[in-house]
Amino acid sequence: MDDAPHAGVPPKKLVELVAVILACATFAYIATGIHLVMVDRPAEEKGVISGWHNLVLAGDAPSPNQYRPGAYLLAEWMKNAFFGDIYSAYFYERLFFTFTTGLFSFLFFRRFLPFGWSLAALCWFYAILPQTYIGYGHQPADPINATFYGLAYLAVASGAPLWVIPITGIGTFFRETSILLPLFSLIITFDKRPLWHSLVRFAVGILAGLVVYGLMRYYYGPAEHPDPWIMVGGNLKELFWLRFFLPATLVPGALAIWCWKGLGPYLRRSLIFVLIFLIIHFIFARFGETRLLLPILPLLICSALAGLKWKLEK
DSSP result, the chain: ---SPPTTPPPHHHHHHHHHHHHHHHHHHHHHHHHIIIIIHHHHHTTHHHHHHHHHHHT-PPTTGGG--HHHHHHHHHIIIIISSHHHHHHHHHHHHHHHHHHHHHHHHTTTS-HHHHHHHHHHHHHHGGGG---STTGGGHHHHHHHHHHHHHHHHTT-GGGHHHHHHHHHHH-GGGGGHHHHHHHHHTTTS-HHHHHHHHHHHHHHHHHHHHHHHHHH------S-S--HHHHHH-GGGHHHHIIIIIHHHHHHHHTGGGS-HHHHHHHHHHHHHHHHHHHHS-TT-GGGGGGGHHHHHHHHHHHHHHHHH-
CA distance 23 to 124: 13
Structure confidence at residue 1 (pLDDT): 40
Confidence of residue 212 (pLDDT cuts 50, 70, 90): very high
More confident residue, 312 or 238: 312
Average pLDDT, the chain: 89
Please report whether residue 4 resides in a domain: no
Q: pLDDT tens-digit profile of 238-282?
A: 766 666 676 778 888 888 889 888 899 999 999 999 999 999 988
> Is the confidence at residue 2, as pLDDT, over 70?
no
Instruction: Give the per-residue pLDDT at 137.
Output: 65
Does 149 or 48 have the greater pLDDT score? 149
Reply yes or no on whether the pLDDT at 51 is more than 50: yes
Quick check: 312 pLDDT over 80?
A: yes
Q: Is residue 110 part of a domain?
A: yes
Percent of all residues in the chain with a pLDDT value above 90, rounded to a whole number: 60
Q: Is residue 98 part of a domain?
A: yes
Domain assignment of residue 247, yes or no: yes
pLDDT at 15: 87
Residues 206-214: what's their mean pLDDT?
97
Count how many domains the chain has. Answer: 1
Whether the pLDDT of residue 5 is over 70: the answer is no
Mean pLDDT within 185-210: 92
Establish if 207 belongs to a structural domain: yes
Q: Is there a domain that residue 3 lies in? A: no
**Is 5 part of a structural domain of the chain?**
no
- Asked, for residue 296, whether it belongs to a domain, the answer is yes
Q: Taking residues 134-149, what's their average pLDDT?
A: 85
Give per-residue pLDDT as tens, 152-165. 999 999 999 999 99
The residue segments making up the domain with residue 237 are 12-313
CA dist list (Å): 237 to 134, 165, 232, 255, 273 = 19, 37, 9, 27, 25
Q: Which pTM does this prediction carry?
A: 0.92
Question: What mean pLDDT is predicted for residues 50-58?
Answer: 93
Q: Does residue 70 register a pLDDT over 90?
A: yes
Q: Tens digits of per-residue pLDDT, 89-110?
A: 999 999 999 999 999 999 999 9
Instruction: Report pLDDT for 133.
Output: 85
